[in-house]
Amino acid sequence: MSGLFSGLKQAATALDIHAKQATIAGNNIANLNNDKYARQYAIISTAGSTLAGSGVESLGIEISTIQNVRNVILDNQIVKEGMVQGSLKSQQIFSASIETAIGEKIDRSQTTSSISTTSDNGSTGGIAQGIDDFFNAFKGLSATPTDSSQKVVLVEKASALVSKLNLVSSRLATVDASAVETINGDVNKVNDLLGKIATFNTAISRLEVGKPGSALEVRDELQGVYEELAQYVNFNVKPIDSSPGNVQVVIQDTSGNDIVLVNKGVVDNALNYNGTSFVASGTSSATLDVKSGSLGGVQSVRTGVLAQTQTQLNALTSQIVGSVNTAYNPTSATGQDFFLSTGTTAATIALDPNLTVTSLKTTNTSAASANELAIAVAGLVDQTFSTGSGASINGTFTDYFNQINTGVAKEVTSAKSALSGSDLALQSYKKQRATIGGVSLDEEVTNLMRYQKAYQASARVMSVISQLMDELVGLVR
């Protein structure tokens, strides 16, 4: 009789286990389209055995644990590649914004040595066209120095060049302001995600008391937060040996020291941006080495190609102002400059307030038809400057501007190409992970059918044992 009771208990246990397996399969199917979810399965093991009067009896089976299918290496690769992708995406966006701000497009039908620029503003032209028009107007005036209409054209072309330089400078300043706004917004997102990580750490500690690794859904969500955080900033996750299940999220400072952002369930340090660099805000005030994610990407553009473009544009402007004023006013007479002498940046360049169509001169002599000043200014367009000789630029005005424009275009192309490669790598990693740990509808439906059959078989065993017990009881009566 004891053997029947033991068999009944084992069948009941098996019935419960098969029901739980079916529930797990159902949960897998429910998360079919959840990218954060890793397929779960039950580990079935023997419950052991015991010594009975008739000998050794099996205690049946039990679920020793429920696990999910996760590949830590792939998870880490996805996080790391996410940092790269976030950075490149920002670099492409803001480099393209700089290219748009300059208002020129590279004509790639030309050879590298003869790259030309065409404006994206139709007939109005950009800076390159403005430079050509300005010096061509001086050339025209030198040919007919007494022609008042040529003077009108020259003043118009000079004003147009000033406006183009002012406009591009303003656009670049807008790009910079947008970069700072983006950084501040992303810093807030990073701090929100750090708070989520701390919350998940707390939940894992509470749910896994005595059952390490059992909070599978929470860990899935935590992995998703890591991947989202990677889009914004570089970081490392370090397990805490003294507190199983808990982690520290760290980032290095500019000296290579680890700065703890999240420690177990507490955010030790938040991120802050002071306008020039990232600093920790909390238990530390160190300057952080943010080099990946969108924050690293935007910052690299802001301190790299954007700052360089602004510096180069100002150098070009300074050279134009200085060279033209020297050629136009060789005696440095007060109030006789062509450009405002203090307006040596793209933002501040302006015509001298004393310059008008009437006051415009072509000579310092009394001869009305003399043109030495106009010839001197017109000749500047072909002059090759050198920083080694004290100039602000290297090359001609047009060549130097084309170098600026080409440099920005190369940054856009490089970021776009690298981003394409990063996208492919990230997609490949995610595809591999989905193959290993993703939910397969066909597989789960098949498992459901298996568990259903096993459940029915266990129920049949219980029914048979119940009938045997009834017969035994009937014999006793």
- Domain spans of the chain? 2-69+440-476, 87-173+298-426, 180-288
- CB neighbour class for 55 (10 Å; exposed up to 12, middle 13-18, buried from 19): exposed
Instruction: Tell me the Ramachandran region of residue 310: left when phi exceeds 0, alpha when psi lies from -120 to 50, beta otherwise.
Output: alpha
Among residues of the chain, what percentage have pLDDT more than 70? 92
Confidence of residue 374 (pLDDT cuts 50, 70, 90): very high
Indicate the pLDDT class of residue 122, thresholds 50, 70 and 90.
very low
Determine the pLDDT at residue 191. 98
Element (H, E) at 20: helix 2-30
| The pLDDT value given to residue 117 | 44
pLDDT of residue 110: 45
At 111 the pLDDT is 40
pLDDT at position 29, please? 92
pLDDT (mean) for 292-308: 98
| pLDDT at residue 260 tops 70 | yes
Give the model's pLDDT for residue 3: 60
Could you report the per-residue pLDDT of 160-196, keeping only the tens digit for each?
999 999 999 999 999 999 999 999 999 999 999 999 9
Dihedral sign for Cα 444, 449, 453, 456, please: positive
pLDDT band at 91 (very low <50, low <70, confident <90, very high): very high
* The pair of three-digit structure tokens given for residue 432, joined into one six-digit string: 């591999």
Which pLDDT does position 14 carry in this prediction?
A: 83
Give the pLDDT confidence of 222-245 residue by residue, as tens digits. 999 999 999 999 999 999 877 777
pLDDT at 66: 85
Please classify residue 157 by burial: count the beta carbons closer than 10 Å to its beta carbon, then call 0-12 exposed, 13-18 middle and 19+ buried. Answer: buried
Integer Cα distance of 418 and 427 in angstroms: 14
Q: Give the amino acid at 477.
A: R
pLDDT on residue 63: 82
Identify the residue with better confidence: 216 or 260. Answer: 260
Per-residue confidence (pLDDT) for residue 476, from 0 to 100: 66
Largest CA distance in the chain: 145
pLDDT in tens, 31-81: 888 888 999 888 888 877 666 666 666 677 788 788 888 899 999 999 999
State both tokens at 254. 């500019």
Q: Give the pLDDT score at 109.
A: 46
Q: How does pLDDT run across 381-433, given as a tens digit for each residue?
A: 999 999 999 999 999 999 999 999 999 999 999 999 999 999 999 999 999 99
Amino acid at 466: S
Amino acid at 211: K
394 close to 387: Cβ distance less than 8 angstroms: yes
How far is the C-alpha of 338 from the C-alpha of 298, rounded, in Å? 39
Q: Are 116 and 110 in contact (CB under 8 A)?
A: yes
Question: What is the C-alpha separation between 189 and 393, in angstroms, rounded?
Answer: 42
SS3 content of the chain, % helix, strand, coil (to 5): 60, 15, 25
For 332, counting Cβ atoms within 10 Å of its Cβ (0-12 exposed, 13-18 middle, 19+ buried), the class is exposed
